[in-house]
C-alpha cells in the first residue's frame, strides 16, 4: 500500500534543503565542506527571504565499507561511527553550519521507519527475492555489471572491484522507468544544473533495471523485516533519510509541512542514486519527487579529492590558517556551476586579498576614517545628486542580480554581484572625491559618505548568507541589527540613521602575505 500525501504545494513559504549523509569510514575534506557550506548559505538566504527553512545533514553508518574499516582498526562498526560522527559535528560547529537536524542512520527512529518502508514495498510486490551477480566497489558502495567496468575497474573511482554472487532481494526499479522518464521530461528543473539533467536523461533507458537492496555476507545494517538473515543495502537505507528525518511514514505532520525537498545538494558522483534510484523508490511509495542540485568536484593534484586515496585538504587546517568565513567565501566563489575546479592555496590568498581586503574591508575602513576625520562621525545635511542616483541604480541592479543568482543556486555569481557592487562604490568615491569638499562643503562630504556607507551596509546584508559573522560586524558598526537578517526589512535603500554617531573601527580583514 502507499500512504496518502497531502503535498507541500500548500506551503509555498517553506524551503527544505539537505546534504548527503557522509560516510563515517574516515574524516571529511574540503569537498565535503563545500557541499555543506553551500547548503548552509542557501538555507540562510531563504531564511532571510522569510521562508520557513528545514536544513538536514547527517552521517551514513551502515554497509560493507564501514564494516571493513572498523575491522581494520580493531573496533566495532558502531564505535567507529561514534568516533567519526563526533568529528563531523565538531567540523560543522567550526564551520558555523546552522543545520536544523543531524540524522544518523543508526538512529532508532530512522531504522524503524526504514523497516516500515521496506514492509510497504514488500506488501505492494515491489520487492522480490532473486540471485544477484555484479562487480562491487567497496569504497564507493557501488555495484556494476561487467560491461560498465572501465579496464576491469570501478568506472566511478578507478579502484579494484570484486565479483559478488548471492541470493538476496531486489527492488522493481524497472517498473517505474516510463513514469520517471515522463515526469523528468515534463519537469527538467527537478535536476540542476542542466548538464546533470542531460546526463541522467541520456542514461535513463539503460540504467533502470531492478536493483538488489539487501546483503547476506555481513550483518552491519538494518535487518529486513521479512527476512532478518539479510540486511538492507546501505544506499537504500541511507537515501531514505530525507523522508524518515521528517517523520515518514508514521509521523506525517512535519513531512507534509516540508516535503518535497527543494534541494538535495550533492556532488555529481552520486547523481544516479539521488535521481533514478531515489525517484523510483518515491514513485513506488506514491511520494512527490524532490529537486536535486549536483555540483562539480574540487580537484587536488589533477584528480578528485578522495578519502580512499588520501588526496585531501583538511578544512580544520585551512580554517585555522585563514579563518572560517574567508574559507567559506573562497569555496563558494570559486567553483562554477556544474564544473570542476582545482584547489589552489595561492588562489585562496589572492581571492582573500583582492576581494575581502582590498575591495570590501579597505572600502569600509577608509570611509569610516574619512567620516571621523572630516565629519567627527556625525552626518551633516544629505542632499543627493546625479552621482548618488547612479550609485543607487547600481545597488538596485546588483541586488536584483544577486537574488536571481541565489535562486538559481549560482552562489559564485551572487558573490561576484556583491563585489562588483563594492567596486562600483569605490568608483563612486574616486569620482566624487569627498576629501576635496571636506574643508568648504561639509554637506557635500556628508552626502558622499552617507551614500558610501549605505551602499556598504547593503553589501554586508547581501554577504550575510555566506559570511554572517563578517556581515554582523559591519551592521553592528552601522547601528543595524547584526543577526536574524530579513531582506524585506534590511536589503533596501535609506536605512542608515543620519542622526546617530559612528566610530571608526579596525579593519575587518588584514592583507595576507
* Reduced 3-state DSSP string for 27-62: CCCHHHHHHHHHHHHHHHHHHHCCCEEEEEEEEECC
Percentage with pLDDT > 90 across the chain? 80
Cβ partners under 8 Å of residue 326, min gap 6: 348, 352, 356, 509
pLDDT band at 69 (very low <50, low <70, confident <90, very high): confident
Q: What is the pLDDT of residues 29-57, one digit of tens each?
A: 999 999 999 999 999 999 999 999 999 99
Provide the strand spans (E) within 227-335. Answer: 227-232, 263-267, 292-295, 298-300, 303-304
Count of all residues that appear for the chain in the document: 513
| pLDDT for 149 beyond 60 | yes
Question: What's the grid cell of residue 23?
Answer: 560516510
pLDDT band at 367 (very low <50, low <70, confident <90, very high): very high
pLDDT of residue 310: 61
User: How far apart, in whole angstroms, are the C-alpha atoms of residue 258 and residue 97?
Assistant: 20
pLDDT of residue 421: 98
pLDDT band at 165 (very low <50, low <70, confident <90, very high): confident
**Is 145:134 a contact under the CB 8 Å cutoff?**
yes
Q: List, in sequence order, every residue forming a beta bridge with 304; answer none if it has no partner.
A: 299
Q: What is the pLDDT of residues 242-288, one digit of tens each?
A: 999 999 999 999 999 999 999 999 999 999 999 999 999 999 999 99
- Rounded to an integer, what is the distance from CA 117 to the centroid of its chain? 27
Quote helix, strand, coil % in the chain, to nearest 5. Answer: 50, 15, 30
Angle, helices 315-322/324-334, rounded to nearest 10 degrees: 110
Q: What is the pLDDT of residues 193-222, one digit of tens each?
A: 999 999 999 999 999 999 999 998 889 999
pLDDT of residue 513: 78
- Annotated domain spans of the chain: 8-341, 345-490
pLDDT of residue 134: 77
pLDDT of residue 5: 39
Instruction: Provide the whole-model pTM.
Output: 0.93
CATH superfamily of 345-490: Isoleucyl-tRNA Synthetase; Domain 1 (1.10.730.10)
Per-chain mean pLDDT for the chain: 93
Q: What is the pLDDT of residues 299-356, one digit of tens each?
A: 987 677 665 656 678 999 999 999 999 999 999 999 999 899 999 999 999 999 999 9
Nearest to 307 by CA among 54, 3, 60: 60
pLDDT band at 139 (very low <50, low <70, confident <90, very high): confident
Cell 538512529, located at residue: 107
Nearest to 38 by CA among 341, 283, 269, 337: 337
Nearest to 336 by CA among 195, 182, 500: 195
Cell 567540523, located at residue: 91
Nearest to 256 by CA among 1, 2, 16: 16
Please tell me whether the peptide bond between 204 and the residue prior to it is cis, using omega within 30 degrees of 0: no
Question: What's the grid cell of residue 306?
Answer: 578522495
**Is 30:298 a contact under the CB 8 Å cutoff?**
yes
pLDDT band at 108 (very low <50, low <70, confident <90, very high): very high
Question: What's the grid cell of residue 428?
Answer: 563612486
Please compute Rg for the chain using Cα positions.
26
| pLDDT for 441 beyond 90 | yes
CATH superfamily of 8-341: HUPs (3.40.50.620)
Average pLDDT over residues 368-382: 94
Angle, helices 278-285/108-124, rounded to nearest 10 degrees: 70
pLDDT of residue 2: 39
pLDDT of residue 3: 41
Amino acid at each position: 500500500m502507499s500512504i496518502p500525501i497531502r503535498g507541500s504545494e500548500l506551503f509555498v513559504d517553506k524551503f527544505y534543503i539537505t546534504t548527503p549523509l557522509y560516510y563515517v569510514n574516515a574524516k571529511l575534506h574540503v569537498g565535503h565542506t563545500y557541499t555543506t557550506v553551500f547548503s548552509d548559505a542557501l538555507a540562510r538566504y531563504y531564511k532571510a527571504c522569510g521562508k520557513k527553512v528545514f536544513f538536514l545533514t547527517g552521517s551514513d553508518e551502515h554497509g560493507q565499507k564501514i564494516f571493513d574499516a572498523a575491522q581494520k582498526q580493531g573496533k566495532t562498526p558502531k564505535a567507529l561511527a561514534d568516533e567519526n560522527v563526533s568529528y563531523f559535528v565538531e567540523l560543522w560547529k567550526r564551520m558555523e553550519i546552522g543545520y536544523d537536524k543531524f540524522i544518523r542512520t543508526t538512529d532508532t527512529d530512522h531504522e524503524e521507519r526504514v523497516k516500515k518502508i521496506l514492509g510497504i514495498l514488500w506488501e505492494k510486490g515491489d520487492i522480490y527475492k532473486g540471485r544477484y551477480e555484479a562487480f562491487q566497489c567497496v569504497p564507493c558502495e557501488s555495484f556494476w555489471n561487467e560491461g560498465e567496468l572501465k579496464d576491469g575497474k570501478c568506472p566511478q573511482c578507478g579502484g579494484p572491484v570484486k565479483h559478488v554472487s548471492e541470493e538476496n532481494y531486489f527492488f522493481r526499479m524497472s517498473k517505474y522507468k516510463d513514469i520517471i522518464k515522463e515526469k523528468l521530461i515534463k519537469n527538467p528543473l527537478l535536476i540542476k544544473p542542466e548538464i546533470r539533467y542531460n546526463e541522467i536523461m541520456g542514461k535513463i533507458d539503460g540504467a533502470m533495471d531492478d536493483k538488489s537492496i539487501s546483503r547476506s555476507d555481513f550483518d552491519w545494517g538494518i535487518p529486513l523485516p521479512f527476512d532478518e538473515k539479510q540486511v538492507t543495502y546501505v544506499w537504500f537505507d541511507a537515501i531514505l533519510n530525507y523522508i524518515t528525518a521528517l517523520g515518514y511514514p508514521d509521523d506525517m505532520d512535519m513531512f507534509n509541512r516540508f516535503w518535497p525537498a527543494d534541494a538535495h545538494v550533492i556532488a555529481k558522483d552520486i547523481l544516479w542514486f539521488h535521481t533514478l534510484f531515489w525517484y523510483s523508490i518515491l514513485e513506488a511509495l506514491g511520494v512527490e519527487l524532490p529537486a536535486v542540485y549536483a555540483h562539480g568536484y574540487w580537484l587536488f593534484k589533477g584528480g578528485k579529492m578522495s578519502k580512499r586515496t588520501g588526496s585531501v585538504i583538511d578544512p580544520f587546517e585551512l580554517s585555522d590558517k585563514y579563518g572560517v568565513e574567508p574559507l567559506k567565501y573562497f569555496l563558494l566563489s570559486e567553483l562554477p556551476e556544474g564544473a570542476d575546479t582545482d584547489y589552489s592555496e595561492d588562489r585562496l590568498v589572492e581571492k582573500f586579498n583582492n576581494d575581502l581586503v582590498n575591495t570590501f574591508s579597505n572600502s569600509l575602513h577608509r570611509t569610516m576614517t574619512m567620516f571621523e576625520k572630516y565629519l567627527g562621525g556625525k552626518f551633516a545635511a544629505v542632499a543627493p545628486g546625479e552621482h548618488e542616483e547612479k550609485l543607487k541604480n547600481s545597488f538596485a541592479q546588483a541586488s536584483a542580480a544577486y537574488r536571481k543568482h541565489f535562486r538559481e543556486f549560482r552562489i559564485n555569481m551572487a558573490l561576484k554581484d556583491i563585489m562588483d557592487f563594492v567596486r562600483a562604490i569605490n568608483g563612486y568615491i574616486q569620482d566624487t572625491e569627498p576629501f576635496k569638499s571636506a574643508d568648504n562643503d561639509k554637506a557635500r562630504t556628508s552626502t558622499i559618505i552617507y551614500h558610501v556607507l549605505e551602499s556598504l551596509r547593503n553589501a554586508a546584508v547581501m554577504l550575510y548568507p555566506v559570511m554572517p559573522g563578517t556581515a554582523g560586524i559591519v551592521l553592528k558598526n552601522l547601528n543595524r541589527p547584526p543577526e536574524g537578517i530579513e531582506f524585506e526589512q534590511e536589503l533596501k535603500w535609506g536605512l542608515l540613521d543620519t542622526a546617530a554617531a559612528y566610530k571608526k573601527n579596525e579593519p575587518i580583514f588584514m592583507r595576507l602575505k
